[in-house]
Amino acid sequence: MDSEKTILHAKNLHKSYGNVNAIQGIDFAIDQSGVVAILGQNGAGKTTLIQCALGLEKTTSGELKTLGHLPGNLSAKQQIGVILQDADLPDLLTAREQIILFASYYPNPFSVEEVIELCNLRDFVDKRYKKLSGGQKRRVQFALAVIGDPKLIFLDEPTTGLDIEARRNLWQVIRGFAAKGKTIVLTTHYLEEADALADRIIVMNSGKIVADATPEDIHNQVRGSAVRCQTQLTEAQLRALTGVESVKIAGRFSELRCSDVNAALTALLASDPVITDLTVTQPKLEDIFTQLSQTGEAS
Ligand SMILES: Nc1ncnc2c1ncn2[C@@H]1O[C@H](COP(=O)(O)OP(=O)(O)OP(=O)(O)O)[C@@H](O)[C@H]1O
Ligand SMILES: [Mg+2]
């Protein structure tokens, strides 16, 4: 294996806490810059994976390497930044003071001013941490994760609890770092977040990887999107369209369950260019996990 290129590799990785099998034999390789989102419900094993990669928890068996090294290796650690799920920081220090402190841990950090700029902290950088809002605190934590100019950044649920504006602000900052050639591994409960940010989505369920693909491919694997519209087409004509699984007529509206929503919409618009009141609904996240878990176990 070319260790220069290895960013994060797992091979038949297992981690148990007593009789809880938090990670049950997972394999993946991340060798590129960009954003990888790990999506999974509570208890799926996302945090455990990050803790193992950081060397904070010992793996039970299998292989795990970060930047070509075993977890916890000092030279790897100096190239890794992190926001832990339950991160908290000293209340009485200002954001600037914490950034200066963290910068001293790394051999080649960004300048403090540069990070304040990159992470949009200017408005509150000299306030004590305890006076900041949840979104501001998360941005400070992000600044601490990146101050060392790391190659690899782990963000464990970086936007949980943030409002949509704060979330979008942080997404923008995360994208900026991916554009600088960094690899960002983030966990999330939000499919929307994975869609908006990730080049690749790994879906975990009960300690296993049940899907590992681009956001587009993940959506294509998931069935159950629905299209609703008013159309002149008959029920039989609608049912014959590519990508349509079933059709229900509800008053003036036709409701189409789709196996491939993109193909169905293309076929629908080609057959009836004057459809009105068109809406598309995506399957719920719970349905996605259930479906991917079933197909993941079957494959
Ligand atoms: N320190 C620990 N001791 C014992 N069991 C643990 C410990 N940490 C995690 N677990 C168990 O391991 C499993 C995976 O937990 P983990 O925290 O990795 O899930 P997660 O995907 O991060 O969930 P969440 O979305 O809730 O953060 C769970 O069953 C959890 O109870
Ligand atoms: Mg977690």
Q: Per-residue pLDDT tens, the chain, 299 aa: give them.
A: 444 568 999 999 999 999 999 999 999 999 999 999 999 989 999 999 999 999 999 999 999 999 999 999 999 999 999 999 888 888 899 999 999 999 998 989 999 999 999 888 999 999 999 999 988 999 999 999 999 999 999 999 999 888 888 889 889 989 999 999 999 999 998 888 898 899 999 999 999 999 999 988 887 777 677 899 999 999 999 999 999 999 999 999 999 998 888 899 999 999 999 999 999 987 766 777 777 777 655 44
Residue-level pLDDT at 1: 46
Residue-level pLDDT at 281: 85
Do 115 and 257 lie in one domain? The reply is no
CB 265: neighbour CB atoms within 10 A?
A: 21
**Which range marks the domain in which residue 231 is found?**
223-282
Contacts of residue 40, defined as CB under 8 A and 6 or more positions apart, other chains included, come to 46, 187, 189, 203, 204, 205, 289
Residue-level pLDDT at 68: 94
* 3 C-alpha to ligand 1 centroid (Å): 30
Do 20 and 75 lie in one domain? The reply is yes
Residue with tokens 């949009």: 120
* 17 C-alpha to ligand 2 centroid (Å): 15
Domain membership flag for residue 91: yes
**Helix, strand, coil shares, percent, the chain, to 5:** 35, 30, 35
Do 205 and 82 lie in one domain? The reply is yes
Which ligand is nearest the CA of 22, by number? Answer: 1
Question: Which CA distances in Å does 273 have to 233, 261, 262, 269, 284?
Answer: 11, 17, 16, 5, 29
Cα 161 versus chain centre, distance: 15
Q: Which amino acid is at 174?
A: I
| Contacts for 52-58: CB closer than 8 Å, 24+ residues apart | 52/13, 52/15, 52/23, 53/8, 53/154, 54/80, 54/82, 54/154, 57/15
Which residues are placed with Cβ below 5 angstroms of ligand 2, an ion?
Answer: 46-47, 85
* 111 C-alpha to ligand 2 centroid (Å): 31
What atom in ligand 1 is closest to the CA of residue 43?
Answer: 19
Domain membership flag for residue 299: no
Contacts of residue 181, defined as CB under 8 A and 6 or more positions apart, other chains included, come to 33
Domain membership flag for residue 294: no
Number of domains observed in the structure of the chain: 2
Check which CATH number belongs to the domain holding 126 and give it. Answer: 3.40.50.300
Which ligand is nearest the CA of 53, by number? Answer: 1
What atom in ligand 1 is closest to the CA of residue 50?
Answer: 18
Question: Ligand 1: residues within 6 Å at CB?
Answer: 17, 20, 22, 40, 42-48, 85
Residue nearest to atom 25 of ligand 1 (CA): 42
Do 161 and 271 lie in one domain? The reply is no
Residue-level pLDDT at 292: 76
Domain membership flag for residue 297: no
| pTM for the predicted model, two decimal places | 0.83
Residue nearest to atom 15 of ligand 1 (CA): 43
Residue-level pLDDT at 215: 87
